[in-house]
Amino acid sequence: MTYQYYPGCSLHASAKDYDQSIQGVAQLMDLELKEVEDWNCCGATVTPSLNQLQGQVLAARNLAIAAGKKGDLVVPCNACYMSLKKVQYNMGKYPKVRENITDIFGQVGLRLTGMPKVRHFLEVILEDVGLEKIERMVKKPLEGLKVACYYGCQLVRPLGFDDPEDPQSLDRLMSTLGAETLPYSQKTHCCGGSLITTQPDLTFKMVDELLEEARSLQADLIVVTCPMCQLNLDAYQNQVNKKFNRKTTVPVTYFTQLMGIALGLSKNKLGLKKGVISPSKALEKIG
């Protein structure tokens, strides 16, 4: 199967491990990912905060480049996923938005005819590959590994493919790989997003609550689907732990890294050494 791939800015920097593990897993499953040519930032939550139309043209330019080409548009980042999906939704719902964007695009030679469907990589794994096939492909079950599946916000709200309050897709995938999924009640709570830069007092508390529940459940790992969630929970974890006087750490890995392990990919190809909080000890459980 062929897909168009929109990595988003983080996957070229702080989330290279996510990109690496996606490439590895995709290859194994015969998913051909073709990177969208000359893609640009989706605007995230910043540009639309300053000017909604600017946010929408940014997101829509990627859709225009991908329009008319073969394959759904696969997005690994929750925030990019939502931004791209939302502009598509808004163009359908609000004629004014559609007119503005098509008019501006008309003047620079961009066309939106034949826009692709926007899908998260997790969605593609579940719906196009399917858990039955994945189960047959497991070479090294994640037996004994206790994981807290953390979906974050924008994967499931407001336009996600799973339940906005109690999604199950990631839990089902992890169970299929042999891991024990924990009843993580904050699975769709917010990590604070980009506010962690400007309002750390407010957001460190949010991160701490997420980590604390995972610790109380004795999770070996928190599994994530988004580079922003990963950064906040992993890269900021030492600072957060210091602030709240917590003594233990919890590694935060991408679902694709765990998939890679279970499907027998070499650990070196999964970017597992890139976590600030190393997952090595937790992964010793599965050998």
Partner 1 sequence: MAKDFAGEVMSYPGGEKILACMQCGTCTGSCPVSHNMQYTPRKLIALIRANQREKVLSSLDIWKCVSCYTCTARCPRGIKFTDIMYILKNLAWNKEEKGAEVKEISAFYDSFQKLIESRGRMNESQLVFRYSFRTNPIKLLEFAPMGLKLMSKGRVALLSPGVSNRKQVQTILKMAGERRGA
What is the binding site for partner 1 (CB under 8 A)? Answer: 9-10, 12-17, 38-41, 43-54, 56-58, 61, 90, 93-94, 96-97, 100, 104-105, 107-108, 110, 153-154, 157-158, 164-165, 188-190, 192-195, 197-199, 202-203, 206, 235-236, 238-239, 273-276
- State the SS3 of 125-175: HHHHHCHHHHHHHCCCCCCCCEEEECCCCCCCCCCCCCCCCCCCHHHHHHH
Nearer to partner 1, 70 or 273 (CB): 273
Least distance from C-beta 275 to partner 1, angstroms?
A: 7
Least distance from C-beta 17 to partner 1, angstroms?
A: 8
Spatial neighbors of 256 by CB under 8 A, at least 6 apart, are: 18, 21, 22, 24, 25, 76, 121, 270
Q: Going edge to edge, which strands form the sheet with 73-75?
A: 32-35, 2-5, 73-75, 118-120
Least distance from C-beta 66 to partner 1, angstroms?
A: 15
CA 138, CA 187: separation in Å to the nearest integer?
25
Assigned token pair, 44: 């995230």
Nearer to partner 1, 154 or 176 (CB): 154
Instruction: Return the number of other C-beta atoms located less than 10 Å from residue 38's C-beta.
Output: 8
Q: 């027998």: which residue's tokens?
A: 264
Nearer to partner 1, 158 or 264 (CB): 158
Least distance from C-beta 190 to partner 1, angstroms?
A: 4
Nearer to partner 1, 179 or 234 (CB): 234
Nearer to partner 1, 29 or 192 (CB): 192
Least distance from C-beta 99 to partner 1, angstroms?
A: 9
CA 60, CA 15: separation in Å to the nearest integer?
23
Least distance from C-beta 130 to partner 1, angstroms?
A: 27
Nearer to partner 1, 51 or 280 (CB): 51
Spatial neighbors of 76 by CB under 8 A, at least 6 apart, are: 7, 8, 11, 18, 19, 22, 120, 121, 225, 227, 256
Nearer to partner 1, 90 or 175 (CB): 90
Spatial neighbors of 71 by CB under 8 A, at least 6 apart, are: 1, 2, 3, 4, 32, 34, 116
The DSSP code for 235 is I
Least distance from C-beta 281 to partner 1, angstroms?
A: 17
